[in-house]
Amino acid sequence: MDLQAILDGIHAELLPRLGEGKVADYIPELAKVDPRQFGMAIVTVDGQVHSVGDAQAPFSIQSISKVFMLTLALGKVGEQLWTRVGREPSGSAFNSIVQLEHEAGIPRNPFINAGAIAISDVVLSGHAPREAIGELLRFVRYLSDDEAVTIDEKVARSETQTGFRNFALANFMRSYGNLDHPVEHVLGVYFHQCALSMNCQQLAKAGLYLAARGTNPLTGHSVVSPKRARRINALMLTCGHYDGSGDFAYHVGLPGKSGVGGGIMAVAPGIASIAVWSPGLNKVGNSQLGAVALEMLAARTGWSVFGD
């Protein structure tokens, strides 16, 4: 299969549509991003790397970082994590507070904001916030085998100044005893993880362990067991796109995680890891053209986990 030709074809077809969707403007720093950008990269488990468009341009990975933090937290506390956060799709917006009250401060899953904030609290355990952030940065550099991955301090600051809803979610959970650390510390970690800045190629490499039974076949780095990789993929498939998770499974059929920076990381188990970026978002906060591009890719490669 000529993957480069498939990527080139997708890029050419989407060129006239660049700029569709709406960039996230509730984070002032993200509102400045030019929406007419598009990049995509594929890294296969046998080591091919293909990319197209703005695949080398760094962007704010935002909620995609939740996959890496979940991996770290599971490594720290194992299955006990599931006393702090659930594993069910939420059926509500990424920053919703309604469900939290009904469910006594236990977020539905690790990929909505409340769930990710609870997970930041777990990773923070035994550390100063700065150390927890450093641990994540080292982990993501190790996963992508690239020391150039950074955290964009401007984005982290922008969110710290305007993330009132995340402060509300965190305070609410703290009142239920589901956060062990001060809200400012937990959110310090959370905002910095969201501000990780990566390009499509780095992100596709970082996700490769999930496509390859927990071990990055390019570096030989063993990250998690095959069972854990399978389970993280299951969570991405059911919860990775907020209230658009069902629709993404229907159209694309790959485990994936989106972020409001316009990125999506997707996994074709046993085959490849894929990253796409286009900043314009659809109504539920997922990259509009990113999802279209992945739908095209899945259709042209037959990689959907539900069959070709």
Binding site for ligand GLU (CB under 6 A): 62-63, 94-95, 113, 159, 166, 194, 259-260, 285
Kindly name the residue from 66, 90, 122, 149 that is annotated as catalytic: 66
Angle CA(59)–CA(60)–CA(64) in degrees, nearest 5?
A: 115
Minimum CB separation of residue 64 from ligand GLU in Å reads 7
| 3-state SS, residue 48 | coil
Minimum CB separation of residue 30 from ligand GLU in Å reads 9
209 in catalytic set: no
Kindly name the residue from 189, 260, 267, 276 that is annotated as catalytic: 260
Q: Which tokens is 268 given?
A: 């074709």
| 3-state SS, residue 52 | strand
Minimum CB separation of residue 13 from ligand GLU in Å reads 26
Q: Which tokens is 176 given?
A: 């239920």
Minimum CB separation of residue 188 from ligand GLU in Å reads 13
Alpha-carbon distance 92 to 108, whole Å?
Answer: 10
The DSSP code sequence of 224-292 is S-HHHHHHHHHHHHHHTTGGGHHHHHHHT-S-EEE-TTSEEEEEETTTEEEEEE---B-TTSSBHHHHH
Q: Which tokens is 177 given?
A: 């005893």
Kindly name the residue from 51, 85, 190, 276 that is annotated as catalytic: 190
Minimum CB separation of residue 147 from ligand GLU in Å reads 24
Alpha-carbon distance 180 to 195, whole Å?
Answer: 23
260 in catalytic set: yes
In the sheet where 59-60 sits, what is the strand order?
A: 59-60, 196-198, 150-151
Amino acid at 214: G
Alpha-carbon distance 229 to 247, whole Å?
Answer: 23
Minimum CB separation of residue 113 from ligand GLU in Å reads 5
77 in catalytic set: no
- CB 278, CB 290: distance < 8 Å: yes
Strand pairing partners for 264?
A: 258, 276
Alpha-carbon distance 81 to 228, whole Å?
Answer: 13
Active site residues: 63, 66, 190, 242, 260
